Amino acid sequence: MRRINWTQWIALFVFASMGVSVIFTTYEVFTAPIKQPATGPSVTLRGDYLFLLFEILLGILILLLPSIISRRFKFEIPGLVYILFIVFLYGSIYLGTVQKFYSNVPHWDKILHTFSGAMLGAIGFSFVSLLNSNSKVVMKLKPGFIAVFAFCFAVTMGAFWEVYEYTFDGIMDLNMQRYNLSNGTPLTGRAVLQDTMSDIIVDIVGALIIAIIGYFALKKGRPWMEHFEFKRKNWKKAPKNK
């Protein structure tokens, strides 16, 4: 019987948390009101729970995605990168949305955006490591180019996330980009851009930090950078220059 390592235990914990959330959220979908009551405080509506259920199910699918991709394309995902990925999913979907950390914990959104910038930067380094370890790729990529690629990859993914928020705000009348106050009052002028631009800025900060650290680590040949490297199972490593 194969033993489960600590990375898999963490993944199982996050998977179980989301699974339980699916059950409770499904119950709320069938019991929550469709419209706000005429009097009294506002309540969470059925449409809100439906979107929450969609996010949780999407999170479960994304949680399974690395394993599916690694088996399909036959490469190993570094344990450290996978842990960062799981922690981000847990913090954004389960803690942030289900447990309402976005509303109750100050700057939770900005903390996650900074973390995601660094995480995506690390994944950018990992992608390039696949090329550098492939004997079919003649050109050896320099540390400076790798760092710039990792930085640009992370910032681009952050921009795509803002597009996702903008799209679903329009489709489902949400407020992920914080263009309204909590009482529904629409913001105007520069204040409308505050959430989106601050998200992009902290994405850049997180990506820049990991790009600088990664650059000097590659430049000095630090062995700990190997913990971020994807390893393709059917590729032969490029021979070292003598």
Torsions phi, psi for 162 (to 5 deg): -65, -35
Look up residue 147 and give its amino acid: A
For 110, the 3-state DSSP assignment is helix
- Report pLDDT digits (tens) over 210-224: 999 999 988 887 666
Question: Cα 127 from chain centroid?
Answer: 16
Torsions phi, psi for 76 (to 5 deg): -95, 130
Whether 234 shows a pLDDT value over 80: the answer reads no
Q: What is the pLDDT of residue 127?
A: 80
% of the chain with per-residue pLDDT over 90: 44
Mean pLDDT, rounded, of the chain:
85
For 77, the 3-state DSSP assignment is coil
Whether 199 shows a pLDDT value over 70: the answer reads yes
Predicted TM-score (pTM) of the model is 0.82
Domain boundaries, the chain: 1-76, 106-242
Q: What is the pLDDT of residue 70?
A: 82
C-alpha distance from residue 111 to each of 88, 92, 95 (Å): 10, 10, 13
Query: What is the b/e burial string over 192-215, where b = at least 16 CB atoms within 10 angstroms of the residue's CB?
Result: eeebbeebbebbbebbbebbebbb
Quick one: average pLDDT of 6-34? 92
- Report pLDDT digits (tens) over 126-172: 888 777 666 565 567 788 998 999 999 999 999 999 999 999 888 87
Q: What is the pLDDT of residue 158?
A: 95
% of the chain with per-residue pLDDT over 70: 88
